[in-house]
Amino acid sequence: MQWHCLSFDQLTTHQLYDCLKLRCDVFVVEQACPYPELDDHDRAPGTRHLLGYQDNQLVAYLRLLAPGTTYPNVSLGRVATAATARGNGLGHRLLAEGLRLAEHHWPGQTIDIGAQSHLQPYYCRYGFEPISAEYLEDGIPHIDMRLPKAVNADQP
């Protein structure tokens, strides 16, 4: 697996296309959820894009957002793995790498996420705790979760 963590300006046009295609395939097509995928957060100051390539194919992606972009704290979002690459622990490797990079870029900071509700147990395994009631976002149940500063400091 080759990991790349890049700002918007560092993405090549091919990498940007790969990111947008994977996100669209997962969040719009697979989940049958038309929503505004391009939200201007991709190019917000401090945003980083984590791309995981395997055999020259983008198979994993997540977006790291600086504090104040979508939440008062650091945030991770658009966590996606290609359908063809699921079932082998790639999602765990992606999240672990994202948490490591969040700690690198924003040491000791609390991390907030808006998780699809059915993924709450998955994120709890990493120390995230629910901080909101369930709500609908684009017709899909979500819950806000937080990885407290003290827990985040102990992540790999």
Q: Domain limits of the chain? A: 2-152
Examine the pLDDT at 153 and tell me if it is beyond 50.
no
Cα–Cα dist 117/130, whole Å: 10
- Tell me the pLDDT of the chain averaged across its residues: 92
Cα–Cα dist 103/110, whole Å: 9
Q: Domain 2-152, CATH 3.40.630.30 — does that match? A: yes
Sign of CA dihedral 99, 102, 103, 108: negative
Encode pLDDT of 107-121 as tens digits.
999 999 999 999 999
Would you state the structure tokens that stand for residue 71, as one six-digit string?
């939440």
N-terminal to C-terminal alpha carbon distance within the chain: 17
pTM of the model: 0.90
